[in-house]
């Protein structure tokens, strides 16, 4: 049996097991059908953030940002390019710290944009 990789769906938070040799075949979430390795930057909520941070077995780069932040908006296109270029090696997501202030308090975020691997 092939080795598998555990990934949380960044849309619904469902845990998924994907065969390692099928990672480039466009795996989808078993619950909601969202692409697991799409190569884009997924906007996450608190639930999917926590699930992915706790259970993903491949690197996940998270951008903590806010819509009013000029540097956040300036960095976004390059972050999206990196997500596309590293599509099979890592996943990229962002969480709006203004919409989800609890994440800023919990992680003691003092400035944005902030990238955490």
What distances in angstroms separate CA 8 from CA 1, 29, 37, one per listed residue?
21, 8, 11
Catalytic residues: 69, 72
């Amino acid at each position: 049996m092939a080795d598998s990789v555990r990934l949380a769906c960044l849309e619904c938070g469902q845990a998924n097991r994907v065969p390692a040799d099928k990672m480039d075949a466009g795996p989808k979430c078993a619950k909601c059908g969202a692409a697991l390795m799409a190569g884009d930057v997924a906007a996450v909520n608190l639930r999917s953030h926590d699930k992915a941070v706790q259970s993903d077995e491949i690197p996940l780069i998270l951008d903590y940002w806010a819509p009013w932040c000029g540097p956040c908006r300036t960095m976004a296109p390059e972050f999206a390019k990196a997500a596309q270029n590293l599509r099979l090696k890592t996943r990229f997501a962002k969480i709006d710290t203004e919409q989800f202030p609890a994440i800023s308090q919990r992680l003691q975020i003092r400035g944005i944009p902030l990238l955490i691997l």
